[in-house]
Each structure stands twice: as structure tokens, then as C-alpha cells.
Amino acid sequence: MVTNSWKMKKYHTHSRAGLPLNVEPWMILCLISVMLLLPAAMVKSQDVVVVRITPPPHSQLSVADLWRIELTNLSRQPLNIYMIGTVEREGSGLILEARSAAFQIMTGLNRLTGSEVQPVRVSYADNRYRDAIFRTGNVPAGDYLLCVTAFDVNDGRELGRDCLMHSVQPFSPPSLVAPVGDMVIHQPYPVFTWTPLAPMPRDGLVRYRLRVVKLHRGQPPEVGLQTNISWFEDPQVLQTSYPYPVEARPFEAGSYAWFVEAVDPRTGNLLARSEADVFRWEPFQVPSIADITAIITPHGIPSDLFEAIMRPCYGTPDPFMPGTVLESWHE
């Protein structure tokens, strides 16, 4: 009977000491099986939880963005985990590390909002980054690597990890052009103008939110914008010049504050905000015949003569103020 020689043959090799080493065929098969199964076992152990970081808003990055993530629990039971998020700046290395509180995730998809991970302990590698984040809520301009890793509470085993690159290039906010500086305007439909966001996003997508509030007497504009109800607001302005709509609430005599925000229309995230400025609105007062008389003839003229001269103007719209009519005047 013919037998397969590879099943019967013993493989011989040599150790480094020069001694023969016998290797059985079944040992080779076991070794191959282990080598094939090892990568799958490693992936399985590392992917108990699939971590996916939601990209932060364009050109912004704060500590809170580390927890805008999705966690998919691939196991068949809830897991108690904690997370560690790190931020590295290109050319500077690690700038901060944040560790979340322990919390539980259920089987399947879990979307975090940030409250589940509180309280969070944050360690900064340099106080300059801490001060910048505390002052502006954002990291300085640069390219950053964000990583978030999920760990098992019981044994500290890594369960899943995700990283992404993110660029922060701060914008110059819009600058208000008109009306500004306590300017007094009389037009019922003034035109608001401001400079564009700079630099513009690469895709050119930006919307402006215009907000106007009426101020109380002696009220600072920033306070009024934070506390007063909007007199007018439009969150979907496309251009940097905006005529006050005819159908909008008419202005009343008084002081008003206004500002403009640049917004990413895809996410609704704020990109930059202008400083507030103030203007006064007053209705246009048509001068009476007596006022005109005093201006034209300081010493006065007989009223009947002046009335005779001005009679053709009565009831005729003033060419400089459409829609107004000169008042008649009699002694």
C-alpha cells in the first residue's frame, strides 16, 4: 500500500547549538493554525467596542469635542468603561490628556453627548494651551491629532480606539461697517453692511446671522444683546449687505445694538462673531413753514407774502423726501 510520505516523514532541522531537532507534522499544522487565528483573535480583542470620533466643527477644537463620539458595543452584554482622550499638536507632541468618569454602554450603538462622561479630569502638558482654551474655548491654530480610547473598568483592558487629524485655522470675524458709532439714521429701511469672514472656508459655504435689539436707556450693547428680546433677526443671510425688510417690524425712536455671526450652514456651528455696535433711529421731521421762514429770512417777511410764494408747494411731495407733504401755515 502506498502511503503519503509527508504524513510519515519526520522533519529534521538543527538548533543553533548544532543538535538535531525533530518536528512532527502535527506540530507544523498546529503552528500554522495558530498563526492564521492569531490576527483574528487580536482584532476581536481590540474591537469589543468600536469607537468613532465625530469630526469637530471647521477650524475649531475644544476638550468637549473629544466626547462627541459614537461607541458600538459588539459584545452581548452591557459594558462598564472609561475613556481617555488625547490631543497632540504637530511639531509639539502631546498637549493635553482627558480621562472620563466610568459609565455603562449598552449593546449596539451608543451616542454620547458629553454629560455621560462627567466629571472629566484634564491634564495639560503646557499651561499656555490651558490658558488659551480657558480664554477662548479653543486651541491655538495648528494641525492636531485626536485619539480616544475605551478601557474596561474592571481590568483596564483596551476595548477600542479611534484617531483623526484636524486642522484649526482661526477666522477673522466680520467687522460692522454701517450703521455704527451711534450714527443717527432716519430711513425706515436702512441697509446693514459688514465685512466678510476671513479667510473664507475652502468650499465657500458660510451664512450670516444678523440680530438687532432695542436698548433701554443707558444699557450697554453687549448686555442688551444678551438679555433683550430681538427686535429683528435673520439667521440665513447670504451676502454682507442687508436691506432692512419692508415687512419687518418698523423701527421706533431710540437706540439699537446689532451684531453679525458667521455660521457653517452644514452643521450650524458658529465660526466667528463680530463685535456689537450701536445706532440711533429717529423719524424724519418735516420742517414747518415757520421753520423754513426762520431759516431763509432770519428777519422775517410778511406772512401773506411768504404764503403766496409757498402756496404752489402745498400738497406737493417734497422731491428730497418722497411721500412727505409740506405743512400749511397760517397766523
**Residue that the C-alpha cell 424724519 belongs to:** 284
Cell, residue 166 = 484636524
Residue 49 has pLDDT above 50, yes or no: yes
Could you tell me the pTM of the whole model? 0.46
Radius of gyration of the chain (CA): 37
Decide: helix, strand or coil at residue 23: strand
Q: What is the pLDDT of residue 198?
A: 83
Q: pLDDT tens, 211-253?
A: 999 999 888 888 888 889 999 999 999 999 999 999 999 999 9
Report which residue type is found at 301. Answer: I
Which CATH number goes with the domain that contains 100?
2.60.40.10
Closest CA to 286 of 328, 246, 248: 328
Q: What is the pLDDT of residue 203?
A: 65
Does residue 63 sit in the same domain as residue 158? yes
Q: What is the pLDDT of residue 163?
A: 96
Q: What percent of the chain has pLDDT above 70?
A: 70
Q: Which residue has the higher pLDDT, 30 or 220?
A: 220
Sequence-separated (6 or more) residues with CB below 8 Å from residue 102: 80, 81, 82, 153
Q: Which residue has the higher pLDDT, 210 or 58?
A: 210
Q: What is the pLDDT of residue 7?
A: 41
Between the two ends of the chain, the Cα-to-Cα distance in Å is: 143
Instruction: Please give the average per-residue pLDDT across 296-302, as a whole number.
Output: 57
| Residue 249 in domain | yes
Q: What is the pLDDT of residue 168?
A: 82
- Choose the final residue of a domain: 118, 151, 168: 168
- Domain assignment of residue 308, given as a range: 285-331
Does residue 195 sit in the same domain as residue 274? yes
Decide: helix, strand or coil at residue 8: helix
Alpha helices in the chain (DSSP H): 5-8, 25-46, 127-136, 221-227, 289-296, 303-310
Does residue 69 sit in the same domain as residue 164? yes
Q: pLDDT tens, 65-103?
A: 899 999 999 999 999 999 999 999 988 899 999 999 999
Q: How far is it, in rounded angstroms, from Cα 171 to Cα 240?
A: 16
Closest CA to 263 of 284, 235, 241: 235
Establish how many alpha carbons lie within 13 A of residue 256's alpha carbon, considering only the half-sphere containing its beta carbon.
Answer: 27
Decide: helix, strand or coil at residue 262: strand
Mean pLDDT score of the chain, rounded to an integer?
79
Residue 2 has pLDDT above 60, yes or no: no
Q: How far is it, in rounded angstroms, from Cα 36 to Cα 249?
A: 73
Cell, residue 307 = 404764503
Work out how many domains the chain is built from and give that number.
3
Residue 24 has pLDDT above 70, yes or no: no
How many of the other CB atoms lie within 10 Å of CB of 73? Answer: 22
